[in-house]
């Protein structure tokens, strides 16, 4: 999972060849129908219909067993890889598939994803060349993960979010994590930014930099992406291992052992290659709220050793403070009510559709007056 929307992409939404099989071990026959991606086959007139359960499982048996009748949708289509993607890192993004996703390319198995409502990504760089290929997505409805996901809901099957390919250089923006809040004065914005740079197995070369800037909030920040010399990291000796065992067992440590343990413990969490972090404080920011969702554009730029932009992204950042005091949920110091938490909403035509309604402090005050 990551938050970078790589823009050099090839959308794959639309009509796919489709067959619905009784089990994941069955093989597709010669007769194909068509299905939309994204969509659920349970709302598309197939023999597998929507199924509602509350506290009981939708099929008999004990974990991790699955039923013999296990609807399996096979989605297939041809893709044309652009000539300009030759030699680049190419990734398949499947936004969500309920419940198990099996990916094949030109008949070669690539990988597995197992989470009904989170994205799965597959690096196809060593398998794709410019030109035409056949992509197959096999979606199995029931799995051992179904026992984890079981709750009061309608069960569906299919691909419920967008599918696409995207291409990057071999060194790229892997993820950006942003934590924006407010200081105690509720006027000073507090921002923590972590940028992770991805790189090939051969390692991260030097000379790459990350820039970050928020419009109206200070200057552009810049930092080198430093590769870690792992040869210089602490090597654990036999005495270090014995110290680890004594500390893990809760045995008393001498003052000398405690000092050594601090160094050994720090070495158990080695630094990560390609990570840049900043902590900022900006006075007088516009606060985000449901009534006035003020946000600031944060631009992240990855530059190669020549100074050219290798990749960039912009994220909208809102500064707000969320607290719980007693039984009250406070947003920017004001009490709010939340209605609809953990509620599953389904569209009568398309199946999955989630919604949460947050009531502002003004809404609560009006409701209490009524």
User: Which CATH number do you get for residue 290?
Assistant: 2.60.40.10
90 plus 107 within the same structural domain: yes
End-of-domain residue from the set 116, 145, 168: 168
The answer, yes or no, to whether residue 47 has pLDDT greater than 80, is: yes
13 to each of 17, 99, 160, how far by Cα in Å? 12, 19, 11
21 plus 161 within the same structural domain: yes
- Determine, yes or no, domain membership for 204: yes
Q: How far apart are CA 196 and CA 208, in angstroms?
A: 12
Q: How far apart are CA 223 and CA 225, in angstroms?
A: 6
- Determine, yes or no, domain membership for 241: yes
Question: In a 10 Å sphere around its CB, with 0-12 CB exposed, 13-18 middle and 19+ buried, how is residue 141 labelled?
Answer: buried
Q: Per residue in 61-83, pLDDT tens?
A: 899 999 999 999 999 999 999 99
178 plus 150 within the same structural domain: no
The residue among 359, 278, 343, 353 whose CA lies nearest residue 317 is 278
- Determine, yes or no, domain membership for 360: yes
- pLDDT bin (cut points 50, 70, 90) of residue 229 is low
- Give the phi and the psi of residue 244 in degrees, each rounded to 5: -60, -45
The residue among 209, 212, 213, 176 whose CA lies nearest residue 194 is 176
For residues 225-235, average pLDDT: 68
243 plus 143 within the same structural domain: no
158 plus 200 within the same structural domain: no
Q: How far apart are CA 250 and CA 79, in angstroms?
A: 58
Residue with tokens 């942003």: 178
- What does DSSP assign to residue 231? G
30 plus 57 within the same structural domain: yes
157 plus 18 within the same structural domain: yes
- Determine, yes or no, domain membership for 258: yes
Edge-to-edge strand ranges of the sheet holding 14-21:
33-37, 14-21, 72-81, 131-140, 100-105, 108-114
For residues 248-252, average pLDDT: 85
Q: Which of 185-189, 315-319, 361-365 has the lowest mean pLDDT?
A: 361-365
- What does DSSP assign to residue 287? B
CA 233 to chain centre: 30
- pLDDT bin (cut points 50, 70, 90) of residue 232 is low
For residues 247-256, average pLDDT: 87
For residue 194, the surrounding DSSP H or E stretch is: strand 189-198
- Determine, yes or no, domain membership for 17: yes
The answer, yes or no, to whether residue 12 has pLDDT greater than 90, is: yes
19 plus 125 within the same structural domain: yes
CATH number at residue 40: 2.60.120.260
Residue with tokens 């990057």: 168
217 plus 74 within the same structural domain: no
202 plus 279 within the same structural domain: yes
163 plus 69 within the same structural domain: yes
- Determine, yes or no, domain membership for 4: no
- Determine, yes or no, domain membership for 1: no
242 plus 333 within the same structural domain: no
The answer, yes or no, to whether residue 278 has pLDDT greater than 50, is: yes
End-of-domain residue from the set 118, 133, 168: 168
Looking at the chain, the whole-number percentage of residues with pLDDT higher than 90 is 68
299, 305, 311, 316: CA torsion to nearest 10? -10
- Determine, yes or no, domain membership for 259: yes
Q: Which domain holds residue 309?
A: 172-229+274-319
Domain count across the chain: 4
The residue among 189, 220, 158, 354 whose CA lies nearest residue 285 is 189
Give the pLDDT of residue 368.
43
Residue with tokens 């991260």: 204
Could you list the beta-strand ranges (E) of 199-321: 209-214, 221-224, 275-282, 296-303, 309-317
CA 204 to chain centre: 23
């Amino acid at each position: 999972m990551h938050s970078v929307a790589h823009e050099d992409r090839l959308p794959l939404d639309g009509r796919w060849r489709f067959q619905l099989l009784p089990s994941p071990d069955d093989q597709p026959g010669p007769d194909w129908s068509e299905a939309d991606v994204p969509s659920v086959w349970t709302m598309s007139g197939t023999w597998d219909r929507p199924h509602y359960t509350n506290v009981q499982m939708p099929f008999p048996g004990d974990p991790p067993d699955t039923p013999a009748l296990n609807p399996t949708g096979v989605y297939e289509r041809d893709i044309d890889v652009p000539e300009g993607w030759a030699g680049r890192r190419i990734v398949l993004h499947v936004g969500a598939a309920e419940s198990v996703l099996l990916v094949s390319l030109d008949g070669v198995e690539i990988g597995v994803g197992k989470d009904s409502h989170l994205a799965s990504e597959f690096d196809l760089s060593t398998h794709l060349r410019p030109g035409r290929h056949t992509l197959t997505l096999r979606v199995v409805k029931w799995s051992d993960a179904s026992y984890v996901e079981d709750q009061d809901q309608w069960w569906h099957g299919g691909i419920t979010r967008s599918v696409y390919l995207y291409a990057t250089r071999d060194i790229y923006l892997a993820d950006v994590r942003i934590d924006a809040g407010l200081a105690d004065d509720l006027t000073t914005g507090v921002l923590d930014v972590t940028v992770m740079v991805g790189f090939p197995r051969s390692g991260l070369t030097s000379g790459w930099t990350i820039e970050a800037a928020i419009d109206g909030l200070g200057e552009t920040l810049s930092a080198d992406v430093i590769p870690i010399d792992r040869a210089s990291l602490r090597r654990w000796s036999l005495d270090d291992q014995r110290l680890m065992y004594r500390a893990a067992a809760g045995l008393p440590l001498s003052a000398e052992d405690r000092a050594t343990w601090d160094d050994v413990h720090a070495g158990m969490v080695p630094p990560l290659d390609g990570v840049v972090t900043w902590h900022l404080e900006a006075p007088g920011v516009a606060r985000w709220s449901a009534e006035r969702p003020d946000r600031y554009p944060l631009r992240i730029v990855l530059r190669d050793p020549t100074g050219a932009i290798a990749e960039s992204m912009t994220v909208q950042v809102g500064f707000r403070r969320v607290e719980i005091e007693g039984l009250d949920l406070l947003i920017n110091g004001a009490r709010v009510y939340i209605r609809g938490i953990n509620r599953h909403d389904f569209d009568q035509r398309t199946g999955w559709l989630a919604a949460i309604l947050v009531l502002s402090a003004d809404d609560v005050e009006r409701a209490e007056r009524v």
